[in-house]
Amino acid sequence: MEDTQKDKNPENNTPPRRVKQWSKLKGENSWTMFKVLSEFVDGFEVMNNTDPCISIFGSARTQSDDKYYRLAVKIASKLTDEGYGVITGGGPGIMEAGNKGAKLSGGLSVGLNIDLPFEQSHNPFIDPEHNLSHRYFFVRKVMFVKYAQAFVVLPGGFGTMDELFEVLTLIQTKKITRVPVVLVGTEYWTGLKDWIVKVMLNEFENISEGDLKLMPIMDDPDEIVEYINDFYSEGKSSFSPNYEL
């Protein structure tokens, strides 16, 4: 909807300025903050009682017979054998595989579900007491990042990319402590990393060369677990949430 603002000076011959207007603005929007706060409270009450975890990201569309589904199960299982819990987005695909690997190894299995108009429903491998449902993506991201001691990123779509680059940005800008971020799948991630080096770094200089060290690419579950364990044995003596709000 547009409105026309008439100039009060009759000597000014400029055409009237068009102003954009909302077609509808809900009065209850100011009450949304209470919904947001309640979601944070629910999340903190659950997550504050968990052990150190690893967040596993990846596509909801990956089928159970896919090699990356099987790889995610194996990685999650090995991580729980090392004493870590596993956090996923709680849905199908890679998320289900992560929770399944944790559950089969008797480890902590956390699901951070998101309410979507399609496709998302929680998988059966989440601990019932650690099965959270979120209305807002940004609240869910806080739970993913605050309580994860590392991030393992398997092939995924826009949502996975969003989560990956959010974490990299927070580490790069020192908004959170540096933690391991591992990209799983050479065939999937090499093209993206090559573009980052060629265009972002070399052509436009929009990142620093040191930023590339934040995102190693690996395929072997044992190598991934060893990389995370080495990080904590060499660079960090204890586990703690990534930031205080």
**Does residue 141 lie in a domain region?**
yes
Position 150: which residue type? A
Element (H, E) at 169: helix 158-172
DSSP for 2-21, written as a single string: EEEE--S-TT--SPPEEEE-
**Does residue 193 lie in a domain region?**
yes
Q: What is the pLDDT of residue 5?
A: 53
Quick: pLDDT tens for 157-194.
999 999 999 999 999 999 998 999 999 999 999 999 99
**Does residue 13 lie in a domain region?**
no
**Does residue 147 lie in a domain region?**
yes
Q: What is the pLDDT of residue 243?
A: 73
CB atoms within 10 A of CB 124: 10
Distance CA 64, CA 207 (A): 37
**Does residue 103 lie in a domain region?**
yes
Q: What is the DSSP letter of 119?
A: S
Q: What is the pLDDT of residue 56?
A: 98
Query: CATH number, domain at 92?
Result: 3.40.50.450
CB atoms within 10 A of CB 18: 10
Distance CA 224, CA 79 (A): 9
**Does residue 7 lie in a domain region?**
no
**What averages of pLDDT result for each successive group of 10 residues across the chain (245 residues)?**
53 77 71 90 95 96 98 98 97 97 98 81 94 95 96 97 97 94 98 98 97 96 97 76 75
* Domain span including residue 220: 31-232
**Does residue 15 lie in a domain region?**
no
pTM across the whole model: 0.89
Q: How many domains does the chain have?
A: 1
Which single residue is written with the structure tokens 């991201």?
141
How far are the Cα atoms of 20, 47, 101, 107, 151 from residue 81, in angstroms, in the given order?
A: 58, 20, 10, 7, 17
**Does residue 58 lie in a domain region?**
yes
Q: What is the pLDDT of residue 20?
A: 84
Q: What is the pLDDT of residue 178?
A: 92
Average confidence score pLDDT of the chain: 91
Q: What is the pLDDT of residue 22?
A: 75
